[in-house]
Amino acid sequence: MTELPKVRALRGATTVEMAGVPADAARDATQEMLRTLLELNGLTVDDVVSALFTLTPDLYSAAPAHAARGAGWQDVPMLTATEAPADHSLPRCIRVMLHVETTRPRDAMRHVYLHGARMLRPDLLHDAEPPAP
């Protein structure tokens, strides 16, 4: 009997080097994070149910959903929100929560924290390099 896919949540985060970054730097960082999440979890865009992005207020020129659409995520429902300012929060950070359909168990899902965002969840780091564009 074939196991039916379940909906699982994947977390990802990355940082961009400068505040008020040019749109292409934020786009590249977002696309790298999404590509890495899919590759490390053996997924395709067709497995993605939805994506919720947040970004820190200093990334006012970033448009993560637009970056995802530029990577072929045409039919994925997406929402972007600005994080509430908080003391000691990580600056220039783009985060995502993906809902995906997969047969992988929850404990086999690989979350992705790239660049400066590696400090957010060192307990979830996998020493894999991001895939090439």
Supply the pLDDT for residue 120.
76
In order along the chain (133 residues), what is the average pLDDT of each group of 10 residues? 90 82 83 96 97 91 92 96 87 95 94 86 59 49
Supply the pLDDT for residue 17.
80
Question: Six-digit token pair at 90?
Answer: 């990580």
Question: Six-digit token pair at 9?
Answer: 């949540």
Supply the pLDDT for residue 106.
92
Supply the pLDDT for residue 60.
77
CATH number given to 6-124: 3.30.1330.40
C-alpha 35: how far from chain center: 8
Helices and strands of the chain, counted as H and E runs: 2, 5
Entry pTM: 0.87
Supply the pLDDT for residue 130.
52
